[in-house]
Structure 1
Amino acid sequence: MKKLSLLMALVLFSVAGAVAQIYNPVTWSVASKKLNNNEAVVFVKATIEQGWNIYGLQVPDGGPISTSFKFTPSKEYTLNGKVAAPAPKSKFEKLFNMDVPYYINEVTFQQKVKLTKGQTNVKGVVEFMACDKERCLPPEEYAFTVTIK
């Protein structure tokens, strides 16, 4: 009887594990380019799985979570302007009853920084929301660090 109960529990947990899926449709990478001794650009690239999207930097109120960046303050650098990105596509989403800006496949965001010393670590967090035709995932954060030499 114990063996039968153990076997049933094992099968139940195996089936439950096979049904549960963790979605991770967006992967991030970071790079930098030094423009001169006093300035650099930080590149934060999102690679988005087929069928999924993330939202633009300027989503109207009442819509999904905009993609946003928070850079850790430092004496080693200051931000030069705002985060730049290519123009997003736009579509009407019934769920939000509005047109929303979005990116598919991949997008590279850029932030210029003014450097105050030679080697600099730029740290930050990007908050984003990924959706497909069936669901939207809860907002996520990706923390990054890039070293500018």
Structure 2
Amino acid sequence: MKKILVLVFLITSMGYSQILAPVKWSTTVKKVSNIEYDLIINATIKPKYHLYSLKVPEGGPLPTVFIFEENENYELVGNMTEDKGHTTFDPVFELNVKYFETSAVFKQRIKLKTKKALKVIGEIEFMTCNDTSCVTGYDDFEIAIQ
């Protein structure tokens, strides 16, 4: 029964996702070598909201997901990494869940297959919650590599 209530809670709060924008995203690039770069995606989170981790337990909130558009000019190296964050018991989901407050930094290393300038294009799917509601969100990103 509790899982059904959580599902209803999430569905009804999704309608507010177009109005509320509890997370603002920005990007930077760090050159690691002649052919490798770290793509850095920063989340600025409004007070009282939590942004959830890349990995959450089954039955928990929706994780933060980064989807990179395929491009023959680069390849992803390893998996996306994230800040340490906080792990605590979430009474809504009745699970220990990792989340971020105020800000979060996600990094993805790429390896270039060309010397030409290119753009890394992708999207972010995420969920944020406060004490009264949850908001699912979606954002696009485009990162230029010179």
What TM-score does the superposition give when structure 1 sets the normalisation length?
A: 0.82
Residue correspondences, number = 128
The corresponding residue for 1:127 is 125
- Alignment map for 1:69-80 (pairs within 5 Å): 69-80=66-77
**Are 1:146 and 2:143 an aligned pair?**
yes
Distance in 1 (alpha carbons) for counterparts of 2:95 and 2:109 = 32
Shift of 1:71: 0.6
**Are 1:107 and 2:113 an aligned pair?**
no
Q: 1:114-137: CA deviations, max 9, x gaps? A: 001121211111111011111111
**Are 1:68 and 2:40 an aligned pair?**
no
TM-align CA RMSD: 1.3
- Alignment map for 1:11-22 (pairs within 5 Å): 22=19
Which ranges of structure 1 fall in alignment gaps of 5 or more residues?
A: 1-20
Q: 1:79-101: CA deviations, max 9, x gaps? A: 00000111120121221111111
The corresponding residue for 1:13 is none
Percent sequence identity over aligned pairs: 34
Q: 1:31-77: CA deviations, max 9, x gaps? A: 11222221111000000011111001110000000111111110110
**Are 1:50 and 2:62 an aligned pair?**
no
The corresponding residue for 2:37 is 40
Which ranges of structure 2 fall in alignment gaps of 5 or more residues?
A: 1-17
Q: Which amino acid aligns with 2:119?
A: N
Runs of at least 4 residues of structure 1 off by over 2 A?
none
Shift of 1:22: 2.3
Q: Which amino acid aligns with 2:121?
A: K
Larger radius of gyration: 1
What TM-score does the superposition give when structure 2 sets the normalisation length?
A: 0.84
Distance in 2 (alpha carbons) for counterparts of 1:24 and 1:126 = 14
